[in-house]
Amino acid sequence: MLKAPINKIIDHSLVDGIGNRSAIFFQGCNISCKYCHNPETQKLCNHCQFCVAKCPVGALMVVEGQVAWDSWACIKCDTCIHVCPNDSSPKVTEMTVDEVFDRIAKNLPFIRGITVSGGECSLYTPFLQELFGKCKSIGITCLMDCNGTIPLWNNPVMEVCDGIMLDVKAWSDQCFRNLTGADNEVVKQNLRQLSNRNKLEELRIVCLEDYVDAEDTIKGIADYVSEQTRENVLLKLIRFRHFGVKGELKEAASPTYEYMEKLKQIALENGFGNVRIV
């Protein structure tokens, strides 16, 4: 029976793809973005137990060497997340496909579909393939919100996935590596191949002057995707905000609105027909 670590499920979300959707956040990521606004989703808990004594209501305990979380006692103060030295959370639940599906099914008929996010949801494609198959059987759509560093175009999950929301992040290898600690060759391959297969739902760049080569990223995406993708797929230019960010960017200033408008203009000049600043 397939299981995956689930950080949280939001039953009704209007910001994770088109329409009202249930959003499922997986725990664990294969890269470490410096501007990540939920860094507690990056790593799996190593059960170091550091957070246990910090919980003000005793909702954390050690059971056979493993940290356990009592969701009923928890008052959601997030102290455990703030003190964790490992970019993790003790409030993660291992769930089966059926358990996730049963939770989603309760939200029918109010949702149009589900969106899986993270962490990095594409670390769990066998789980997703099974979950999406069940969702399709009841007529709801399935989107994946991904960092694109894992090849998807040839993954069987794409047979049951309606679209990828791809966070392109940066274009030059140096900029991407500085931001994430990883390589972006596979991101570019995903971009081209998923565009050719008409599987891109949304493209995204978090914009931060002097840190992200946003202008080159817009132009690079324009070169890599089909005309149909350029004209129709939503390109979100996200204004960096420091909320939740840890490390060297935790107090970085947001870009000016003038800068964001300039980027939008560049996107329009490069053939994007659906550009939004958020």
Q: Does 84 bind ligand SF4 (CB under 6 A)?
A: yes
Q: Does 6 bind ligand SF4 (CB under 6 A)?
A: no
- Spatial separation of the C-alpha atoms in residues 84 and 246, rounded to whole Å: 12
For ligand SF4, which residue of 24, 36, 59, 170 counts as binding (CB under 6 A)?
59
Q: Report strand pairing: 60-63 vs 66-69.
A: antiparallel
Number of residues near ligand SF4 (by CB under 6 A): 26
Q: Does 80 bind ligand SF4 (CB under 6 A)?
A: yes
Q: Does 243 bind ligand SF4 (CB under 6 A)?
A: no
Task: Identify which of residues 72 and 154 has a Cβ nearer to ligand SF4 in the complex.
Answer: 72
Binding mask 10-49 toward ligand SF4 (x if CB under 6 A, else -) reads: -----------------------------------xxxxx
Task: Identify which of residues 91 and 169 has a Cβ nearer to ligand SF4 in the complex.
Answer: 91
Q: Does 76 bind ligand SF4 (CB under 6 A)?
A: yes
For ligand SF4, which residue of 10, 18, 74, 105 counts as binding (CB under 6 A)?
74
- Residue pair 172/216 in contact (Cβ under 8 Å)? The answer is yes
Residues that bind ligand SF4 (CB under 6 A): 45-51, 55, 57, 59-60, 67, 69, 74-80, 84, 86, 88-91
